[in-house]
A and B are shown apart, each in its own frame.
Chain A
Amino acid sequence: MHRAPSGVKVLVLALVTAAVLIARDPLVSAGVVVLVFCTALVARIPLLMLLVLLRRLWLVLAVLAILQLILNDPATGTEVLSRILTCLMAAQLLLLTTAPVELVGVLRRILAPLRLLGIRPGRIALAALIMLRSIPYLADSFHLGAQQARARGLERDLRARTVPLLLGAVDHARNTGRALNARGIDEA
């Protein structure tokens, strides 16, 4: 599973998701969940890593379950919840077995036909890689900004917590752009 071509994995995931969304049948959803678990076992991924999803999203799922009980009959509610959970589980499996950079490669291949329209897929892939690279940097910056806001007693002030992040992001983009220019990478 880890070694399977990432393009194939993305395609399969898309098809499975489409099938679950169109079928709208708890039996189909349950079948897909079993399939996902079997694949995970074959790929030697601990099932716990799939079920972590439940812990992370339990609040959303609980709210949805209550709303469904109020607004719809239990059967529809089961169907809605099973559909959402199944699709998220299948997506989680892809996530656990694929490196982010591979996904950028997939994006590039999907976008290759855009070349005919005069858009360069290489540039989009470059933007995607810059995005991946920037996430840890900006996450640190956001965390730091939150600490500074707390130190000033402004932890409830949205502006104090987001403006430093935004200015840091603009600065980072400026430096990245200069670095790309300096290396002549604007013709990707």
Chain B
Amino acid sequence: MSQSSSETSHIAEGTRRTRGLNPAQDIALIGVFAALIAVLAFAPPIPIGNFGVPITLQTMGIALAGLVLGPWRGAAAAALYVVLGLLGLPIFAGFVGGFGVLAGPSAGYLLAWPLTALVTGFIARIVLRRGSVRWRVPLLFVAAIAGSILVTHPAGIVGMSINLEVSLREAFFFDIVFWPGDVIKSLVAAGAAALVHRSAPWILARG
């Protein structure tokens, strides 16, 4: 027990040192993952599985940012994406951008994303540092879905209720449509993130 805690503190110390030494790598990761979120948002809905239910991939980019980059860099990537989109880059789904989206039905979801990445990132960091490798994928799935349930969906429901002039209850029923897709996306994101941490441990070393 004492050994493991000293190991963790050693990792934390190393983290601080490497981060101080190599901010350029962090900047690059944040910029590239913000771009990844944008590219996933552009992707036309993909029919998945035997029934071909179309799934949009926007939120998967947010989950991946948290799972792969950890809380702070993940939130930074999501915030960069949201802020540049609000300033007017056409990087939101449907190639729209600008403050105008704040009037739309997705305003709540958009504004919640940096916080979602933060929550997912915190849980993911704990999982990656303390959890056993065997449980990594299921626990990363928990991290992704927790960010989604705790932050994205409540904010999205409130946003829809305000912008569409419907009650919270009605907004909640619109929101349910996204749940099955969310579970699938979180599963795939968890598997993919575990793969990245195995093949590119240099990210984790600074996570």
- Which A residues form the contact surface with B (CB < 8 A)? 10, 13-14, 17-18, 20-21, 53, 56-57, 60, 64, 67-68, 71-72, 76, 79-80, 83-84, 86-92, 94-95, 98, 100, 103-104, 106-107, 123-124, 126-135, 137-139, 142, 156-159, 161-163, 165-167, 169-170, 172-174, 176-178, 180-181, 185-186, 188
In the complex, identify which listed stretch (B5-13, B76-84, B128-136, B150-158) lies at the interface while the others stay far away: B76-84
Complex: chain B residue closest to A137, CB-CB: B35
Given A79-B165, A186-B23; 8 other pairs, CB 8 A cutoff? A80-B165, A127-B28, A127-B31, A156-B47, A159-B188, A165-B40, A170-B68, A177-B24
In the complex, identify which listed stretch (B109-117, B119-127, B141-149, B198-206) lies at the interface while the others stay far away: B198-206
**Could you give, for residues 89-112 of chain B, a 1 whenever the CB lies within 8 Å of some chain A CB and a 0 otherwise?**
111001111111111110000000
Inter-subunit contact A127/B98 (CB<8 Å)? no
The reply on B138 being an interface residue by CB < 8 A is: no
**Using a Cβ–Cβ cut-off of 8 Å, how many residues does chain B contribute to the interface with A?**
71
Main secondary structure of the interface of B (DSSP, over half): helix
Main secondary structure of the interface of A (DSSP, over half): helix
Known: A83-B103, A131-B31, A172-B32. A91 touches B88 (CB 8 A): yes
Taking CB atoms, residues of chain B closer than 8 Å to A67 are: 164, 166, 174
- Which B residues form the contact surface with A (CB < 8 A)? 22-36, 38-40, 42-43, 46-50, 52, 55, 57, 60, 64, 68, 76, 80-81, 83-84, 87-91, 94-105, 163-166, 170, 174, 184-185, 188, 191-193, 195-196, 199-200, 202-203
Inter-subunit contact A131/B84 (CB<8 Å)? yes
In whole Å, how far is B175's beta carbon from the nearest beta carbon of chain A? 13
